[in-house]
Structures are given as structure tokens and as C-alpha cells.
């Protein structure tokens, strides 16, 4: 009788124990990706080699856009465990910028999440002076990467945010 109560208690604890959430990877079809403001005649954009890429020739300078999914290299687990943080990413970015020379600068990292996928948005300036914004999300063994480069910082931030807002729901649920 006592062992039955212990078994019932352990079963209840197992059922009620919190389980870390994992977003479901959806294997996105980038041919369905539509990003407001990324359209002809200013933009040439579409799927190439499984990635969504774009180039704006009508922007101030040329703006480049990349949306892709790669296998998680373990970073997603390190973020969930707290080993890799926005501060860690900022320190790495600042070190890289100081090594690049030129106009390179690193403006910081902020945590982001979509569904239960976790990640960061980073802002930097390349050695050639272009602004860069990267959104990265990890879950279910996959990493979504959205990157935009260009001369106009506000435009780069806006297009990157729009691309992320449209790509994340196609990638994770």
C-alpha cells in the first residue's frame, strides 16, 4: 500500500514537473517570404541556394539582405543554460570590431525570443563603414539568421526588423 502511494506521488511529480519548451522547427519555404519594402524596382530579392537574399540598388548606397537557416552549433543550448548571454556576445563583438580596424564598431546585443526560440539581435558597423543588424534565433537544433548591411543605419534597422518579423513565424512555431 505504501509503495503504491509513493509510486503515485512520483508519477504526479513527473507529470507536473516543468519541461523546457522547445519551438517546433517548420522547415521554411522562403519562396513564400514577403517583406514589406523589399520589392521591385528598388530590390532584387528571392530564393537562391535555399536562402532568401536581396539587394537594394535604389537605397542610399547598396543594401544587402540575407535570411537563412543553419544547424545549431550548440549555441542554443549555451544560451538556454546561461553560459552564453547578451553580455558575452557584446564582448565578442567588441573584440572583433577592435581587430577589424577601419570604421568597425560594435553597438551591442539584446536578447530576443519568438515562440520558445531564443536568441539575440546585434548592431554593428563594418570596417568599410556599412551598418549591420543581425537577428539570430535558436531552437530545435536549428538557427535562423537574418542579416542586413547598408549605409543608412535607420533603413538597415527597419528592413532587418521587418525581415525578422516575417521570417521567424515561417521558421519556428
Listed in sequence order, the DSSP H helices in the chain are: 2-16, 75-81, 86-100, 153-171
Name beta bridge partners: 133. Answer: 123, 148
pLDDT at position 117 is: 93
Give the domains, in start order, of the chain with CATH numbers. 21-171 (3.40.1000)
Q: Which residue has the cell 567588441?
A: 94
In the chain (173 residues long), the average pLDDT of successive 10-residue segments reads: 48 41 79 94 95 94 95 93 94 93 93 94 95 96 96 96 97 92
- Could you tell me how many helices (H) and strands (E) the chain has, helices first? 4, 7
pLDDT at position 43 is: 96
pLDDT at position 8 is: 47
d(CA 65, CA 35): 11
pLDDT at position 1 is: 53
d(CA 90, CA 130): 18
- Three-class SS state of 43: strand
Q: In what order do the strands lie in the sheet with 117-125?
A: 43-48, 51-56, 63-71, 142-150, 131-139, 117-125, 105-114
110: Cβ contacts below 8 Å, ≥ 6 apart = 86, 120, 121
pLDDT at position 10 is: 41
- Three-class SS state of 163: helix
Amino acid at each position: 500500500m505504501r509503495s503504491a502511494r509513493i509510486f503515485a506521488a512520483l508519477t504526479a511529480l513527473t507529470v507536473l514537473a516543468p519541461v523546457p519548451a522547445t519551438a517546433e522547427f517548420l522547415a521554411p519555404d522562403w519562396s513564400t517570404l514577403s517583406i514589406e519594402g523589399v520589392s521591385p524596382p528598388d530590390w532584387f530579392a528571392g530564393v537562391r541556394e535555399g536562402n532568401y537574399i536581396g539587394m537594394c540598388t535604389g537605397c542610399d548606397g547598396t543594401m544587402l539582405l540575407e535570411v537563412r537557416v543553419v544547424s545549431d552549433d550548440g549555441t542554443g543550448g549555451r544560451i538556454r543554460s546561461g553560459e552564453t548571454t547578451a553580455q558575452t556576445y557584446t564582448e565578442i563583438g567588441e573584440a572583433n570590431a577592435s581587430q577589424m580596424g577601419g570604421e568597425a564598431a560594435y553597438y551591442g546585443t539584446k536578447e530576443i525570443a519568438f515562440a520558445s526560440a531564443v536568441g539575440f539581435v546585434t548592431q554593428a558597423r563594418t570596417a568599410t563603414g556599412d551598418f549591420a543588424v543581425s537577428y539570430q534565433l535558436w531552437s530545435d537544433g536549428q538557427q535562423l539568421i537574418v542579416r542586413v548591411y547598408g549605409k543608412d543605419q535607420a533603413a538597415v534597422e527597419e528592413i532587418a526588423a521587418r525581415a525578422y518579423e516575417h521570417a521567424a513565424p515561417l521558421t519556428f512555431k
